[in-house]
């Protein structure tokens, strides 16, 4: 079998520590309330799975699937809804969980899609933010890490469908 070892950009340990902080902040902000968590597939599946374990609130978990990249490394410029959530969010506290805000087009499109459904509140948690590429500013209420303009993979993020299973955020090197 082919072997590969991308360079580590954010280690498993650093992610775990940051998730403790984010989980604590979310728990405090929504004290006594129920939360609808929307995990944006596919990239956010690992971050979402680990983060919700650190939130001490009743949670209803929903999944939505959006794609903008295709198989390349740059945005295609339009966002396609592949799969919608399965219940109403009207009057609910909604927390969207993303793996990365890059150009911001995906979250802008998703926010517009969700706001017309009249949630009580709508917030965003994102593991990563790449300010250098951002074209559509969006408030990230709970941010894991700000990163430089590098193509990142692992911890849910892919390159052409691969590397999502890595337990850390990495960057590809000459050996990959
Ligand atoms: C990635 C990522 C975000 C989006 C961010 O999704 O998961 O949803 O791109 O980019 P943007 O801020 O430039 O819109 P992708 O379309 O690659 O789908 P995936 O999550 O299924 O890999």
pLDDT tens readout for residues 20-35: 999 999 999 999 999 9
User: Parallel, antiparallel, or unpaired for β 142-146 and 152-153?
Assistant: unpaired
Q: Which of residues 144 and 73 earns the better pLDDT score?
A: 144
Q: How many CB atoms lie within 10 A of CB 78?
A: 9
Secondary structure class of 48 (helix, strand, coil): helix
- The CATH classification number of 7-171 equals 3.40.50.2020
Q: How many CB atoms lie within 10 A of CB 19?
A: 19
**pLDDT attached to residue 77:** 73
Secondary structure class of 124 (helix, strand, coil): strand
**pLDDT attached to residue 68:** 75
**Is ligand 1 within 6 A of the CB of residue 111?**
no
Catalytic residues: 102
The answer, yes or no, to whether residue 149 has pLDDT greater than 70, is yes
Secondary structure class of 56 (helix, strand, coil): coil
Average pLDDT value for residue range 77-98: 95
Q: Minimal CA–CA distance to 114: which of 84, 142, 134?
A: 84
User: Parallel, antiparallel, or unpaired for β 93-101 and 35-41?
Assistant: parallel
Q: Minimal CA–CA distance to 150: which of 124, 168, 129?
A: 129
Residue ranges covered by each domain of the chain: 7-171
The sign of the torsion formed by the CA atoms of 133, 70, 152, 107 equals positive
Identify which of 44, 46, 100, 162 to mutate to test ligand 1's pocket (most ligand atoms within 8 A of the CB): 100
Q: State the pLDDT confidence band at 76, using cuts at 50, 70 and 90.
A: low
């Amino acid at each position: 079998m082919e072997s590969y070892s991308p360079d580590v950009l954010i280690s498993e340990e650093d992610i775990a520590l940051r998730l403790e902080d984010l989980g604590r902040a979310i728990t405090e902000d929504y004290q006594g309330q129920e939360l609808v968590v929307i995990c944006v597939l596919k990239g956010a599946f690992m971050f979402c799975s680990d983060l919700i374990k650190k939130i001490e609130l009743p949670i209803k978990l929903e999944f939505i699937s959006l794609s903008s990249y295709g198989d390349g490394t740059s945005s295609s410029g339009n966002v396609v809804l592949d799969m919608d959530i399965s219940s109403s969010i009207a009057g609910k506290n909604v927390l969207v969980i993303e793996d990365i805000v890059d150009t911001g087009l995906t979250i802008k499109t998703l926010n517009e899609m969700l706001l017309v459904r009249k949630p009580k509140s709508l917030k965003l948690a994102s593991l990563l933010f790449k300010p250098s590429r951002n074209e559509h500013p969006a408030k990230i209420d709970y941010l894991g890490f700000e990163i430089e303009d590098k193509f990142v993979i692992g911890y849910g993020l892919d390159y052409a469908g691969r590397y999502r299973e890595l337990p850390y955020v990495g960057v590809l090197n000459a050996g990959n």
